[in-house]
């Protein structure tokens, strides 16, 4: 099994494990990393519609989805992430939003998570940390109760395109069906809206990378490479694939 530091770097579009210790600095200006809390909140309100639910947010990052969902719905949320700095940030935000009594954040490796009987599992923008989509769905199903829900945020490529690291929409839907998950809703973000978000994020990251290059000139190559990887991945997301959030129900 790949070590968790390498997996974290990979999930954030990096490729060199040396970057791990610098991730909190590079991403210090960003709270929302990946999925849109607003999209997830809207899905939960319209399709689940109750506050007395237990939620597990796997790879919760800085807790943007967890905290905003708890605030909007009043549900109890547990978030797990490997980065201690992210968890501490999430705890601060929970206090700021007045939901620290219903939000719990834990530093941990989600690959070693064996929680169960949750009403809702959130797996947003975490990539292939559990393996391919089929293996991921099996893992998530084991944590949610029968009749419970799973939210997955990821991306897919068009049927007539082959994009490295992405499967087609048909393959995504087939993986859900194979594992007895009912598709309740699919939300696809428009490419232009995504570009606006990515551009703002990349400007912030580039600024922090410049600061790090001044502090650590011997590692300039590391930060330059990360910026390049970010821009390349954003180009793929904006032009070659579609980013989507799926709400699924465990029917058996």
pLDDT on residue 1: 62
252: burial class by Cβ within 10 Å (0-12, 13-18, 19+)?
A: exposed
Domain ranges in the chain are 34-189+244-250
Share of the chain above pLDDT 90, in %: 86
pTM here is 0.95
- Give pLDDT < 70 ranges for the chain: 1
Domain 34-189+244-250, CATH class in plain words:
alpha beta
> Given this model, what pLDDT does residue 14 score?
82
The pLDDT value given to residue 64: 98
pLDDT tens digits, one per residue of 98-143: 999 999 999 999 999 999 999 999 999 998 899 999 999 999 999 9
Q: Is the dihedral of CA 195, 201, 205, 207 positive or negative?
A: positive
CA 4 to CA 60: how far, in whole Å?
15
Identify which of 160, 151, 184 has the alpha carbon closest to the alpha carbon of residue 34.
Answer: 151
What pLDDT is recorded for position 7?
87
């Amino acid at each position: 099994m790949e070590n968790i530091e390498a997996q974290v770097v990979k999930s954030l579009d990096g490729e060199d494990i040396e970057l791990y210790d610098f991730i909190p600095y590079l991403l210090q200006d960003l709270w929302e990393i990946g999925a849109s809390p607003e999209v997830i909140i809207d899905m939960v309100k319209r399709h689940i519609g109750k506050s007395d639910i237990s939620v597990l947010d796997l790879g919760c990052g800085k807790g943007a989805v967890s905290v905003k969902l708890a605030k909007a719905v009043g549900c109890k949320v547990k978030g797990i992430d490997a980065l201690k700095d992210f968890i501490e940030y999430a705890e601060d935000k929970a206090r700021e939003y007045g939901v620290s009594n219903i939000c719990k954040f834990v530093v941990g490796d989600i690959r070693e998570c064996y929680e169960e009987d949750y009403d809702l599992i959130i797996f947003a923008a975490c990539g292939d940390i559990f393996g391919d989509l089929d293996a991921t769905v099996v893992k998530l199903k084991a944590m949610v109760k029968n009749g419970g829900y799973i939210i997955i945020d990821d991306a897919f490529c068009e049927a007539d395109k082959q994009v490295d690291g992405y499967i087609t929409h048909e393959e995504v839907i087939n993986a859900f069906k194979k594992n007895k998950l009912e598709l309740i809703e699919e939300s696809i973000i428009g490419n232009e809206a995504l570009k606006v978000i990515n551009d703002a994020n990349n400007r912030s990251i580039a600024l922090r990378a410049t600061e790090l290059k001044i502090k650590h000139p011997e590692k300039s190559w590391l930060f330059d490479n990360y910026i390049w990887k970010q821009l390349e991945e954003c180009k793929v997301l904006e032009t070659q694939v579609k980013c989507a959030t799926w709400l699924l129900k465990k029917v058996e």
